[in-house]
C-alpha cells in the first residue's frame, strides 16, 4: 500500500522567488509599508513578514506562519531549509530528507522516487526506491503457478493477473453483522500481505468490486451477466476482468445466503471468493485445508501456503503478464 507523502507548501511568494531552488539573490524592500509589526524598537525584518530577523526561522523569505514541518533538524523554516543538502528547499522538495536534486517522480504522485514506499514500480516493473528490498519466498513454485496462471472456469490465460490499483468494494444484499465483521477481518489480514488498498465504499458508482450476499439467481440476474450457468452448482462465485496489460480492473462475487450450511460455511465462501478475486483464479487438490482446495470446505483461516501465494502474487517482483517461464526465471535468480 502506498500512502503518498504530502509535502505542504505554504506561502510560496513568487514575488520573492521563495520557491526557487537556484542560488538567486533576492532583493526585498526593507520598509514596513505601513503594516503592523510585533517587533520592538530597533529590530529589523528583512523579509517583511512581521517576524524580526532575530526570531525569524527563515529571515530571508516571507514566512509569517514560521512553518518548519519537514525535518526541522536545523531549526530553520521550510522555505529556506534544505535538510538533505540537495539544493532544493524543503517546502518544494518531493523527497526532503533524502538527497535527490533531479526530483524524479515517475508516477507523478508528488513523492520523489527515492522516497516511494516499497511496491511502487517503474514502467519496467522495477522498484522506484532502490532501498526497497521485498523478500520473495515460495516453497512450492508449481503450486503458485497452478493457482495464479490457471483458471477454474473458462480458458487458462497462463498469465499473472492482479490488481494494480486500489480495490474499492461495495456491499449489497442481506449480509449478517457477523459476516460484515468477518469481511473486516479478512480485509485486515490481506492488507498485511498485498501492496494495494482494500477500501469499502458506500456508493456502487465509486466501486470496482461488487460483493453480493443473496441468492445465486439474483446475482446472475442483477449483478453478473453470464453467471447463470454457474450459480446452480456454486454457492459462492467470483468474476474478474482485466485489461490488455493483464491488470485487473473490475470484479464481482457472491455468497449464497439461502443454500449455505450456516455461518461458518458463509465465512469460508466469503474468504475464498474475495481472495481469489484478487488474482488467484484456480483451485487445486494439492493442500487439504487450503483456501484454494478443490473440495468443499469450511476453513475460515489461511494456511501458511495460502499466505505464501498471496504475498508472492503481490510482491513487486511478480509483474502482471508474467508467464510460467518468467516465474521460473525469477526464482532461478534468487
Q: What pLDDT score does 66 carry?
A: 78
What lies within 8 Å, CB to CB, of 209 at 6+ separation is 167, 168, 169, 170, 250, 251, 252, 253, 277
Q: What pLDDT score does 217 carry?
A: 97
Q: Give the pLDDT means over successive 10-residue stretches in the chain (334 positions).
A: 35 35 36 38 76 84 75 69 84 86 83 72 68 76 96 90 96 97 95 91 97 97 96 95 96 97 95 97 93 87 94 92 95 74
User: How many other CB atoms are there within 10 angstroms of residue 280's CB atom?
Assistant: 23
Handedness of CA 239, 244, 248, 251 (dihedral sign): negative
Q: What gap in Å lies between CA 210 and CA 294, rounded to an integer? A: 24
What lies within 8 Å, CB to CB, of 51 at 6+ separation is 38, 39, 45, 59, 63, 64, 66
Q: What gap in Å lies between CA 61 and CA 79, rounded to an integer? A: 7
Full DSSP string of 320-334:
TT--HHHHHHHHHT-
Q: What gap in Å lies between CA 141 and CA 157, rounded to an integer? A: 18
What lies within 8 Å, CB to CB, of 242 at 6+ separation is 161, 248, 249
Domains and their CATH numbers in the chain: 1-133 (no CATH), 141-332 (3.40.390.10)
Q: What pLDDT score does 22 carry?
A: 38
Amino acid at each position: 500500500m502506498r500512502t503518498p507523502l504530502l509535502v505542504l507548501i505554504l506561502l510560496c511568494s513568487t514575488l520573492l522567488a521563495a520557491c526557487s531552488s537556484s542560488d538567486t539573490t533576492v532583493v526585498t524592500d526593507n520598509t514596513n509599508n505601513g503594516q503592523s509589526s510585533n517587533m520592538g524598537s530597533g529590530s529589523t525584518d528583512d523579509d517583511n513578514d512581521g517576524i524580526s530577523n532575530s526570531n525569524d526561522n527563515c529571515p530571508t523569505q516571507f514566512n509569517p506562519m514560521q512553518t518548519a514541518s519537514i525535518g526541522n533538524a536545523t531549526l530553520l523554516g521550510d522555505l529556506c531549509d534544505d535538510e538533505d543538502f540537495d539544493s532544493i528547499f524543503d517546502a518544494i522538495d518531493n523527497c526532503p530528507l533524502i538527497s535527490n536534486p533531479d526530483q524524479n517522480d515517475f508516477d507523478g504522485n508528488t513523492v520523489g522516487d527515492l522516497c516511494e514506499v516499497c511496491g511502487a514500480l517503474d514502467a519496467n516493473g522495477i522498484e522506484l526506491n532502490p532501498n526497497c528490498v521485498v523478500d520473495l519466498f515460495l516453497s512450492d513454485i508449481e503450486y503458485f503457478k497452478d493457482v495464479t496462471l490457471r483458471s477454474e472456469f473458462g480458458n487458462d490465460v497462463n498469465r499473472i493477473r492482479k490488481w494494480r490499483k486500489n480495490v474499492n468494494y461495495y456491499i449489497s444484499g442481506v449480509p449478517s453483522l457477523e459476516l460484515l465483521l468477518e469481511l473486516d477481518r479478512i480485509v485486515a489480514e490481506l492488507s498485511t500481505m498485498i501492496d494495494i488498498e482494500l477500501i469499502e465504499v458506500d456508493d456502487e458508482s465509486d466501486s470496482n468490486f461488487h460483493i453480493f450476499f443473496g441468492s445465486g439467481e439474483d446475482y446472475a440476474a442483477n449483478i453478473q451477466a453470464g453467471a447463470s450457468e454457474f450459480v446452480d452448482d456454486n454457492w459462492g462465485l467470483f468474476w474478474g476482468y482485466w485489461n490488455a496489460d493483464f491488470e485487473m480492473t473490475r470484479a464481482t462475487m457472491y455468497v449464497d445466503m439461502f443454500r449455505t450450511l450456516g455461518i461458518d460455511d458463509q465465512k469460508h465462501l466469503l474468504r475464498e471468493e474475495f481472495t481469489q478475486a484478487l488474482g488467484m483464479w484456480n483451485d487445486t487438490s494439492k493442500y487439504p485445508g487450503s483456501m484454494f482446495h478443490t473440495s468443499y470446505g469450511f476453513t475460515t483461516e489461511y494456511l501458511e501456503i495460502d499466505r505464501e501465494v498471496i504475498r508472492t502474487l503481490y510482491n513487486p517482483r511478480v509483474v502482471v503478464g508474467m508467464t510460467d517461464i518468467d516465474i521460473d526465471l525469477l526464482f532461478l535468480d534468487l
